[in-house]
Amino acid sequence: MSPIVFDDIHFMFRPYDPWLAYGQSKTASIFFAVGATARWFKDGITANALMPGAIATNLQRHTGSLRTPPERQKTIAQGAATSVLLATSLLLKGVGGRYFEDCNEATLVTNGNGYMSGVAPYALNPDNADRLWNESLRLLA
């Protein structure tokens, strides 16, 4: 949904926008999967990111006017399926730094598709993943 604006990660120089912040957080989770896999693959450690989907829970009561249409909502079991797959499938042994949704690797999208599915190439960029990793280390110091 949004690349990370490295020059203003904390919205200090632009109006805060919850959707942009959410989009940046999703991109950040993908960057951390890319970064962790790059750093620890030789030790047998991989990481992937995923989108569970809009789960039919009470969480959306905290999202203001944002509501997922009922036909696009998932049950808790459906929402957990991709997480369980990534955590347990031997088919994914040695696979890391990728983004999954609906129990599949997400397709690349280059200009959005209006449905918040797929993954933009910028979210898988290893240089940007390194940049966020280093910025995170700086913020933790």
User: Active-site residue numbers?
Assistant: 22
DSSP for 67-106 reads ---GGG-B-HHHHHHHHHHHHH-GGGTT--S-EEETTEEP
> 27-43: string of b/e by CB count within 10 Å (b at 16+)?
bbbbbbbbbbbbeeeee
